[in-house]
A and B are shown apart, each in its own frame.
Chain A
Amino acid sequence: MIEALSQCLDALSLPADWVGIRAVKESINHRSMRDQMPQRNSRALDWGAMVEVIAQGQSGYAATNVLSPEGLRQAAEAAYQQAIAASHRGLYSVSPALRPAITGRYQSAQQKPFDALSPADINDVLARICQQLQVSDQITQTNATAIASETETWFVSSSGAEIYQQFFLVETHFGVTAQDAGIVQQRSDNGSLARCYQGGWEVFLGADLWQRVDRVAQQAIELLSAADCPDVTTTLVLAPDQMMLQIHESVGHPLELDRILGDERNYAGGSFVSSEDFGDLAYGSPLMNVTFDPTVAGELASYSFDDTGAPATREYLIRAGILERGLGSLESQMRLGVPGVACARASTWNRPAVDRMANINLEPGDYTFEDLIGNIEHGVYMQANRSWSIDDQRYKFQFGCEYAQLIEQGQLTKTLRNPNYRATTPQFWQSLMAVGDRSTWQVYGTPFCGKGEPNQAIRVGHGAPVCAFEAVEIFGGAS
């Protein structure tokens, strides 16, 4: 494919300063069950190419799924016309220097390839999960989903970039709804579709799968008779499956440089962070270390190059609580004058790249789980995201979880249902008082990070340890 695309580039006779072609082919197998009955058995194949042209200081795009030389030539001509038409109204001057001439490859590690299991095998596992979740008549619904995807991208440019990346992705979910009289509770496998990884079927069919199934069902039943989470200001401990959402909404999104630049203000929103904050703002307590890390094996958004060809490296966004770097492409870094990362990403071939999260992780600290809980006199430990609400500047938020436990005198005591908490982003991260060690660090992800117009849903990963925050406003669902 690289050779064919390069030949198409060579055959172009456009008076452009730079031309790039990014071709994407994605194959998705989606299977889901509800109450042991198949709900979805689908296979989707999608391919196409985005041609970007830089001319007269402006870029223009044209996407097509006609991958013949003539189809790509027509797309390049259309992209060139887009650039010329907008060149006297451009927001900033685009230089070919913003498109690195890099060559390289990336491939997800995979132990158990997708063809190792037939559709019947996968359906059988999903049906068994539903069956095993049905532990009581109080379980009113069970569901299980497995999505396996292979994505290939080829990127060539007139300046010499040649990049091939191949991703194997597994996204899974199971959960239950339980009911007793007027009480309805849901419990799932770390939150909605949170177990998203690069790899093969080994990441789904792990040694602990059936233990997790049992735990989800038992905890759903447990929640039916649990006390409602109290309204109290106390120590909040978050499990990694809720830290995922916390990092995503209150660190990832506000650090996107295009939000700070105003590009996304009318849809995704802006940010409470300004360009002057980089290098200076105490974003959180000194225990807060956040990285952009595309190098973590198996994490959902690992890659070697972003969608403009920029090489991706691990970088600290926040170190010892101080904001160092934003989530911004080479363009955004140039426009805003702050350091960024290789995060120009497009959801697929028919969208231009914009500033996105990838893997945004909170680095581990020193506490074992037992020591972290053991040092807390009173608090609430919450797991798995259930709901979220945050303003368009990513400042004030309110999040809810599936399952909680009261912490009393250093011990986890009774189960609590309908746990929620609220805070403002700086106040919350300044209250970070203890960070779990590597033994508590877990990785999750989501395929549903939304942004851009037309909308782009993109895959992101978040790894985090268990963390404790002091004096957080916690509340239940009864009030």
Chain B
Amino acid sequence: MKVMWEALFEQLAASLRSQLRSREAFTLTLTGESSQFVRFNQAKVRQSGLVREGELQLSFTKDGRVGDRSLPFTGENPQI
């Protein structure tokens, strides 16, 4: 998953770079998580679960103005 995500992220970054015009800049950040959480009470399991997610954060700058946008990153196109 990590290799696929990073490859797609690099493609997105390259695409954005190629579209930059004068006095424009951006940062693109990929944050991903694959976590296991188990909550205990009295040495017994209260809740047990997994979280798998990814997020892209784009910060775009032009002429001293900044706009930020974040959106889900799945590594694939959403189907529904």
Closest to B38 in A: A86
Q: Which residues of chain A have C-beta atoms less than 8 A from B48's C-beta? A: 58-61, 82-83, 85-86
Q: Mark A371-414, 1 if CB is under 8 A from B, else 0.
A: 00000000000000000000000000000000000000000000
Residue B11 CB within 8 A of the other chain = no
Report whether B51 and A63 are in contact in the complex, using a CB–CB cutoff of 8 Å.
Answer: yes
B74 touches A71 (CB 8 A): yes
* A22, chain B: closest CB distance, angstroms: 12
B: number of interface residues (CB 8 Å):
34
Contact of B39 among A48, A62, A67, A453 (CB under 8 A): A453
Contacts of A350 in B (CB 8 A): 51, 53
Q: Which residues in chain B, 62-80, are within 8 Å of chain A measured between CB atoms?
A: 65-76, 78-80
Residues in chain A near residue B50, CB distance under 8 A = 61-63, 75, 78-79, 82
Report A65-90 CB contacts with B as 1/0, cut-off 8 Å. Answer: 11111010001001100110110011
Instruction: Tell me, rounded to whole Å, the shortest Cβ–Cβ distance linking B34 to chain A.
Output: 10
| A63:B41 contact, CB within 8 angstroms | no
Q: List 11 A-B contacts (CB under 8 A).
A: A44-B70, A45-B71, A47-B72, A58-B45, A66-B76, A69-B79, A82-B48, A86-B45, A91-B41, A91-B42, A453-B39
Distance between B64 CB and nearest chain A CB, rounded to angstroms: 10
Evaluate contact between A67 and B79: CB separation under 8 angstroms: yes
User: 1/0 per residue B20-53: CB within 8 Å of A?
Assistant: 0000000000000001011111101111111111
- Contact between chains at A454 and B37 (CB < 8 Å): yes
Say yes or no for A261: interface residue by CB 8 A criterion: yes
List of B residues within 8 angstroms of A63 by Cβ:
49-53
Compute how far the CA of A48 lies from the CA of B78 in the bound complex, rounded to whole angstroms.
10
* Interchain CB contact under 8 A, B45 and A1: no
Indicate the size class of the contact surface on chain A. 35 or more
CA of A1 to CA of B78 in the docked complex: distance in angstroms?
A: 13
Contacts of B46 on A, CB cut-off 8 Å? 91, 263
Given A47-B78, A61-B48: 20 more A-B contacts, CB < 8 Å: A1-B80, A43-B67, A43-B69, A48-B72, A59-B48, A61-B50, A62-B50, A63-B53, A66-B74, A66-B75, A67-B79, A67-B80, A69-B80, A75-B50, A89-B44, A89-B45, A90-B45, A91-B41, A91-B45, A265-B41
User: A445 CB to closest chain B CB, in angstroms?
Assistant: 24
Q: Is the CB of A43 within 8 A of B68?
A: yes
Asked whether A291 is an interface residue with its Cβ less than 8 Å from the other chain, the reply is no
List the A side residues contacting B55 at CB < 8 Å. 46
A41 touches B (CB below 8 Å): yes
Residues of chain A within 8 A (CB-CB) of B35 are 454
Query: How far, in Å, is A73 (CB) from chain B's closest CB?
Result: 12
Interface flag for A286 (CB, 8 Å) = no
A68 to B66, CA, bound (A): 34
Q: Is the CB of A68 within 8 A of B80?
A: yes
Closest Cβ of chain A to B5, distance in Å, is 12
> 3 nearest interchain CB pairs?
A61-B49, A68-B79, A42-B68
**Residues of B contacting A38 in the complex (Cβ-Cβ under 8 angstroms):** 65-66
A78 CA / B37 CA spacing, docked (Å): 13
Smallest CB gap from A7: residue in B: B80
- Cβ–Cβ contact A46 & B45, under 8 A: no
Given contacts A43-B69, A69-B79, contact A352 B47 (CB under 8 A): yes
Chain B's closest residue to A4 (CB) is B80
Chain A residues closer than 8 Å to B66, beta-carbon distance: 38, 41
Q: Which residues of B contact A62 (CB under 8 A)?
A: 49-52
